[in-house]
A = this chain, B = another copy of it.
Amino acid sequence: MKATRSKTRYLILGLLTEGPLSGYEIKKVVDIRFSYFWSESYGQIYPELARLAQEGLAEEYSAEGESRKEKKRYQITDRGADALREWLQLPVEKEVVRFELLLKLFFSGQLPAQAVADHIKAFELAHKRQLELFRRFEQELQETRHPGDNHEEVLMVLLFGQKVGSAYVEWSQEVLKRLEEKAQA
């Protein structure tokens, strides 16, 4: 059974439903907007765009007014939109996560207590910062919303980041407390 087809193509098709984009722009959007739940590299994006074009799910787009060459934008085709919808309806595969931090915590008996605490603190700090970014992004969103966009969806995805991020931070604080108690015992 070939369970997994790469999801890169559907990410691309999804983004193209909002308008034509180049490979470079796709990478930008993913890095900036999706960073907390997705990632893609150029090595994935460019070949996949070429495949999509070859299979007729996307096609090169030439702007009317703009004679800007050197920017190869693609737009989605009807067949591409069908393929996207089909995939959207398929059940979500079990997500595979790998938390190096938890591995290190699990085996931290081999280590001075301070070293583990440092790992946890770094994790806590990173996610506190991320929560701050979420907060700012949410405000930004409230100011620019207008009907017809996918605002509600964006907010629900954002809420995921916020809820999970908060759980990370709370957990960090609880664990740091326990590590301290343990050190004093």
A interface list, Cβ under 8 A from B:
7, 10-11, 14, 17, 34, 36-39, 81, 84-85, 88-89, 91-111, 115, 119, 122-123, 126, 150, 152-154, 156-157, 159-160, 163-164, 166-168, 170-171, 174-175, 178, 182
Contact = CB atoms under 8 A, between A and B. Distances in A.
B159 A175 contact: yes
Lowest 5 A-B CB distances belong to which pairs? A167-B167, A14-B107, A37-B99, A37-B102, A163-B167
B122 A17 contact: no
Contacts of A88: 104, 107-108, 110-111, 115
B84 A110 contact: yes
Copies of this chain in its oligomeric complex: 2
A100 B94 CA distance: 9
Contact of A97 (B17, B94, B97): B97
A174 B162 CA distance: 13
Contacts of A115: 88-89
22 contacts: A7-B100, A7-B103, A17-B107, A38-B98, A39-B98, A88-B111, A88-B115, A89-B115, A91-B119, A92-B100, A92-B122, A93-B100, A95-B97, A99-B160, A105-B156, A106-B154, A107-B150, A152-B178, A152-B182, A159-B174, A159-B175, A164-B171
Contact of A164 (B11, B104, B109, B167): B167
